[in-house]
Amino acid sequence: MCGIVGYVGEKQAAPLLLEGLKRLEYRGYDSAGIATLSNGRFTVHRSPGKLSQLIERLNGSYPAGTTGIGHTRWATHGRPTEANAHPQTDCSGNVVAVHNGIFENFPERKAALQAKGHRFTSETDTEVFAHEVEEAFTGDLFAAVQKATRHLRGAYAVVVSSSGEPGVLVTARSGPPIVLGVGQGENFVASDPVALAPWTRDVIFLEDGDVARVSASSLRIADSEGRERERSTHRIVWDAVAAEKGGYRHFMAKEIHEQPTAVAETLGGKVSLETGELSFRGTLLSPESVAGFDRVLLLACGTSWHAALIGKFLIEGMARLPVEVDYGSEFRYRRPVVNERTLTVGISQSGETADTVAALSEARRAGSPLLAIVNMPGSQIARMADAVFPTHAGPEIGVASTKAFTTQLAVLFLVAAKLRESRGLERGLTGEERKALAHLPAALKETLDLEPQLESLAREYQTARDFLFLGRGLHYPVALEGALKLKEISYIHAEGYPAGEMKHGPIALVDEKLPVVVLAPHDGWREKTISNLREVKSRDGIAIVVTTRQDEEIASLADRVLVIPETIPELQPILSVVPLQLFAYHVAVRRGCDVDQPRNLAKSVTVE
């Protein structure tokens, strides 16, 4: 949460900072601010609300300076006011700082600094950092930041600048991410390489505990012990255009429509669709390693947790290994039983979700090998894992996850197939699986063609107060995901439920005003799901059914039917979630909601 950007070079910093912040707004949008240094003085502009409000205030008149920092905030300590917006400053305005994270001991440090005469103007923990740097500064900003961080506990990514050492930014991280962007005669700092896409693709990911000094011509990095460090430069292959809306009204719409390509890209290089051979680098899933595992543990949050629930069906069904699924936020507080015979799999779009990171660290401490399914190359989860299976979805900017989910499902299918192979149950993919995978991108395109029907459905039901989503087996997590999409972007209350559980409680909600979305593909659960559909109809509920064939029985029971292409049951969720994404999207648009930046949310949840 919170997006950070910094620039030092020969260009005017302000327009660059604002452009970088635009790309980071998915990390928070409670307030925004920039500070630039010119003639030995900082000019700070801040505004509550979105970045657009700050830009409006500036009204084309950008502050001068070729060194600067910027921030977009997701409020933790202190309300989203102008005073609490970043950059925060020290007593004299000679130090400016931006921060992502939480300094847990800031009340004590604030009191200690106040006792020394420091004057505070905000409720934030970040301001404490600016004053710590002021206190420690004796002409060397790098040394001052090293000293300041020793006084503070918590998770942080900070960038700071001082008029006492112009043309220099110092950044430090412990928890939330920081990347350095390497340019020609200029250098950058950001929370995410996406922010730097227009200017550089060469980035250095800082490690936990690192402190870096960034000037236009040099980069210096030291680790938490103060030892100088060489960190390797990664070339990011995403092009700048991938982080633009590309003619769509919202990132979410673009990302929904990118799913055929994203899934195809994700499969590429991991499987041969001609021979069914699975090519994975590393030894973690080799027959020798897999023989040492007696179960699999899937850890994730939110939408990625829904993917994990589907992963359980895939791995247990295909590889016959027991699977446990947990939320990152719950796992480490329940004294879990994990050891070296457990294969832990972390699933995350951002690779930075604090709860998932902490849960994976816990599993690692217990001796469990770690496999990561992540979308962000070089992210924290990618770096801590023994093996990484990337989802090549490209940047996902819309806060509601869409293409990351379907690509995670594609990878989980391949992981299940690889585990099956290593356990000697099947070599590579079966002919039917190969055919289904080869056809998947086209089937996704066909599913997207249902959009006009979903627009009309959205028009009809946009005013409903509640929704119920039902599914069985692999489609129970799809029901959860459909409900999550709807509630997070349209603010309509929605619940996902296993269809068979409905009679144990939620059926009491069903009346003539309640739309119930029933996932009823032609799989082994169809008959049972149809019984649940009858239960809804006999209580006058409105039934919207997603199925895979023209089906008279379903047609006679449903108020609306959406027929999507049929594939093998293991891959069907990749198709059946698409109409639910489109439905949520169009309901939110009709209700005038901020689709890409729904209230109270942030894309990357880097606080516990």
Binding positions for ligand F6R, rule: CB under 6 A: 301-304, 348-350, 353, 356, 400-401, 484, 488, 604-605
CB of 265 to ligand F6R, least distance (A): 18
Dihedrals phi, psi of 601, to nearest 5 degrees? -105, 165
- Which DSSP state fits 541? P
Q: Which residue's C-beta sits nearest to ligand F6R?
A: 302
Shorter beta-carbon distance to ligand F6R: residue 103 or 585: 585
Go through the chain and tell me how many residues it has.
608
Shorter beta-carbon distance to ligand F6R: residue 47 or 356: 356
Within 10 A of 337 (CB to CB), how many other CB atoms are there? 10
Query: What whole-number distance in Å separates Cα of residue 530 and Cα of residue 556?
Result: 11
In this structure, which amino acid lies at residue 430? T
> Which residue in 2, 50, 403, 487 is the catalytic one?
2
The answer to whether 18 and 34 are in contact (CB under 8 A) is: yes
> Which one, of 166, 164, 167, 125, lies nearest residue 148 by Cα?
125
The structure tokens listed for 48 are 């509550």
CB of 300 to ligand F6R, least distance (A): 6
Q: Which residue has the tokens 């300041």?
A: 148
CB of 597 to ligand F6R, least distance (A): 12
- CA distances to 168, 212, 386, 394 from 374, rounded to whole Å, are 33, 26, 13, 11
> Which one, of 290, 194, 190, lies nearest residue 241 by Cα?
194
Query: What whole-number distance in Å separates Cα of residue 593 and Cα of residue 603?
Result: 17
Shorter beta-carbon distance to ligand F6R: residue 95 or 370: 370
The structure tokens listed for 316 are 């247990």
Q: Which residues of 390-407 are buried (b: 16+ CB within 10 A; e: fewer)?
A: bbbbbbbbbbbbbbbbbb
CB of 176 to ligand F6R, least distance (A): 13
Shorter beta-carbon distance to ligand F6R: residue 162 or 303: 303
Shorter beta-carbon distance to ligand F6R: residue 94 or 329: 329
Shorter beta-carbon distance to ligand F6R: residue 478 or 543: 478
The structure tokens listed for 191 are 């929370």
Q: Which residue has the tokens 């997207």?
A: 448
Cβ partners under 8 Å of residue 34, min gap 6: 13, 14, 17, 18, 21, 44, 45, 46, 54, 63, 68, 69, 70, 71, 87
- CA distances to 16, 75, 229, 258, 456 from 236, rounded to whole Å, are 19, 30, 21, 19, 40
Shorter beta-carbon distance to ligand F6R: residue 214 or 605: 605
CB of 396 to ligand F6R, least distance (A): 8
CB of 339 to ligand F6R, least distance (A): 25
CB of 406 to ligand F6R, least distance (A): 12
Is 301 an active-site residue?
Answer: no
Dihedrals phi, psi of 6, to nearest 5 degrees? -145, 150
The structure tokens listed for 92 are 């004299």
Within 10 A of 523 (CB to CB), how many other CB atoms are there? 18
Shorter beta-carbon distance to ligand F6R: residue 120 or 491: 491
Shorter beta-carbon distance to ligand F6R: residue 472 or 487: 487
Dihedrals phi, psi of 4, to nearest 5 degrees? -125, 140
Shorter beta-carbon distance to ligand F6R: residue 408 or 548: 408
CB of 383 to ligand F6R, least distance (A): 15
Is 445 an active-site residue?
Answer: no
> Which residue in 22, 110, 403, 603 is the catalytic one?
603
Within 10 A of 237 (CB to CB), how many other CB atoms are there? 10
Q: Which residue has the tokens 């989802």?
A: 391
The answer to whether 353 and 372 are in contact (CB under 8 A) is: no
In this structure, which amino acid lies at residue 510? V
CB of 375 to ligand F6R, least distance (A): 8
Query: What whole-number distance in Å separates Cα of residue 548 and Cα of residue 546?
Result: 7
Active site residues: 2, 603
